[in-house]
Structure 1
Amino acid sequence: MTEAAVDAPRAGGGNRAGGRTGRRGRTAGLLVCGVLLAVPSALLVVRLTGLDAGTPLAVPLVLFPYGAAVSVLVLGAVLAVPVLRSRWAVAVVALLTAAQVALLVPRFVPHQQQVPAAAAELRVATLNAYVGRADPRAVVRLVRAERIDVLAVEELPSAGVTALAEAGLDELLPYKELHPENDSSIYSRLPLTHGGPLDADTAWPQTTVDVTVGGRTVRVVAVHTYYPLGDADRWTRDLTALSSVARTSGPDTVFLGDFNASLDHAPMRDLLASGLTDTHAELGRGWARTWPADRTLVPPLIQLDHVLHGSGLAGVSVGERTVPGTDHRAVVAVLALNRS
């Protein structure tokens, strides 16, 4: 009887110790989850409020899709690990995750328009040549393989123009609007009209041309904006200027190039709201990545290069292609004229 009376308190003390250990484990686990969700939460606030426009917050915002992926993993952990599971923890993480997913899902759902089978098509491509370092022979192979009609090349100096000519690009795309002094140039298989620098307040002049496709005139603008890491305000003004141009360009318009922006940036969303459609999002290719493309151990992480078009065209296909020598992947798109 005496021994039993002595043993009882020991058992009770062990349970209390186990309870304290469990509570400490839950606290530590939830603290880790909170730390992991701090950045995704901050990015969500920036994304919802547009605080990236004209501010350095534009730089980390490119990681918004990755933040959403982290939130999904944390939600899975909270649901799967008993010590972390609680109503408030699940509710908070689920709400954060739902908000991020709701913003991302539309770009993964194809919403291309129906176009007649016999509709005329325009095959376009854009490439940032990395100050002329892109392999010119690889560029020519890309143009030939993809049967490109119009090629926009950014960061193309005079030496790069010469190298592309020597590699045989002029034989495939004989019509040209070359402006190495202004950074971007346009090559075409089809005759060009009304070419020259775009009348817009951008850091460096954008090159524009008109091309006739299926009896209709399509305006093409080779885009290269300033970069937010260098001057976020200048970058915002560039995209704002392009938005003004897009609003008056009509439905048969293509803006393609290195926008130095993702679909999550407020100035980029404003540009799309001016009457343009991102071909990747239109075709459900929401996780395309074009930069950086010159790292041995790091794959491309974010999409800075886009093909945008007006309502007179519809995306048929879009993809990315690696060109040696440059830090950007090329973007190739087929666009159909979807109305008479």
Structure 2
Amino acid sequence: MTITEAPTEKRPARRRIVLSVFLWLLLTPGAIWFLGRAFGLERGMLIMLFAGTPYVAAWTLIPFLLALAARRWAAAAVAGLVALGMAVCVLPRAVPDFDKGPSEGVELRVLTANLLFSDADPNQIVQMVRDNDVAVLAVQEFTPRGEAALKAAGIDELLPHQQLAPEYGASGSGLYSRYPMLDQASRRNAGGFQQAFATIQPPGAAPVYLESVHPLAPAHPTMFAGWSTDIREQLPADENSTPRILLGDFNATLDHKVLRELIATGYRDAADTVGKGLVPSWPSRGGSNGLVTIDHVLVDERIGVRDVEVHDVTESDHRAVFASLTIPAAS
């Protein structure tokens, strides 16, 4: 008589196989994402997707914990390594750096705001400048209407020295300063946006260069190459030149290799430096806090970072970024 295996004996083995396959399938996207982020494989649609890396990093804990609970040790080991790798990429932004740069020098308080075709409330922007004792304001998506609105709101009384390049649409740019501009101009980047820049010298300080940055957004496949070019062509830090501050809407997060490479020339990201690098800035229209961090203040490593705050702006899809900095004293 032939003895056959009972169906009930096959079911546990089948369930174990299905569970193992499920866990491996669950952890695979996070593993691929981590490799792409680690090696800077931002191509095509991945450019926009990589902006969401902090959320994917949090998600990678799920397959790790499920694998541990199911005692699938090989899957748990791989998922744990992926979660650890993602944490290394993301979590340092939430922890203040030990080195925040020089603490002695002259304080310079700056603010950057994308005005969304100048729909942003001009009175709120001017009030922000007043409340935070801002000495330099950088604006993007700055139109002739926005210029007139800020003037009517009283910006000239607070920041009378100006380099303005307003244009209809999203391409305009501007810099407002409390201090005289030693030199000033605007340049049009490859993506077609103006970037106002100037050198100022606050009392008791050495000269410092500031530029209102606005690379092309990677919103469509035809814009991907221009986005990368615009960021690569931002002024690198140069220890043999005037200390530089780049502030504005970079249309990139610290999970984009091209921005990390710019920072590696000798900048520090102000928000990252003080442990606020995960505070989102876009999209925020309607009073929401935003989802990703694409507005930045990059400062030369010879400049210290005291504090960073991110503020909602009525009728803009970006939040404004304020930074209190320490620039070198005059020699």
Unaligned residue ranges in structure 2 (runs of 5+): none
Query: Letter of the aligned partner of 2:46 in structure 1?
Result: L
Task: Determine if the alignment matches structure 1 residue 321 to structure 2 residue 308.
Answer: no
1:180 is matched with which residue: 156, 166, 171? 166
Tell me which residue corresponds to 1:268. 259
Aligned residue identity for 1:239: I
Q: 1:49 is matched by which residue type in structure 2?
A: F
Deviations, residues 289-332 of structure 1 (Å, cap 9, x unaligned): 00010157x64110010000002201100011001000000000
Within 2, Cα distance between the matches of 1:97 and 1:104? 11
Which SS does the other structure have where 1:125 is aligned? Answer: strand
Tell me the TM-score normalized by structure 1.
Answer: 0.86
Q: How does 1:119-158 map to 2 (within 5 A)?
A: 119-158=105-144
Is it true that 1:216 corresponds to 2:203 in the alignment? no
> Does residue 50 in structure 1 map to residue 40 in structure 2?
yes
Aligned pairs for 1:1-340 (under 5 A) are 13=6, 17=8, 20-52=10-42, 55-79=44-68, 81=69, 84-111=70-97, 112-113=99-100, 115-116=102-103, 119-181=105-167, 182-198=171-187, 201-213=190-202, 214-230=204-220, 231-243=223-235, 245-247=236-238, 250=241, 252-295=243-286, 299-337=289-327
* Aligned 8 A contact 1:39 1:67 in 2: no
Structure having the higher helix fraction is: 1
Give the percent of matched residue pairs that are identical in Structure 1 and Structure 2.
31
RMSD between superposed Cα atoms in Å: 2.4
Within 1, Cα distance between the matches of 2:289 and 2:188? 36
| Structure 1 residues 222 and 279, CA gap change in structure 2 (3 angstroms) | same
Q: Is the 8 A contact 1:36 1:70 kept in 2?
A: no
Paired residues, what number?
320
Mapped to 1, the partners of 2:86 and 2:240 lie a distance apart of 33
CA contact (8 A) 1:154 1:184 kept: yes
TM-score (structure 2 length as normaliser): 0.88
Q: Residue type matched to 1:288 in 2?
A: V
Corresponding residue SS for 2:129: helix
Give the AA of the match of 2:225.
D
User: Which letter does structure 1 place at the counterpart of 2:88?
Assistant: A
Partner Cα separation in structure 1 for residue 35 and residue 162 of structure 2 = 44
CA-to-aligned-CA distance 1:118-148 (integer Å, 9 cap, x gap):
x311000100000011011111111111111
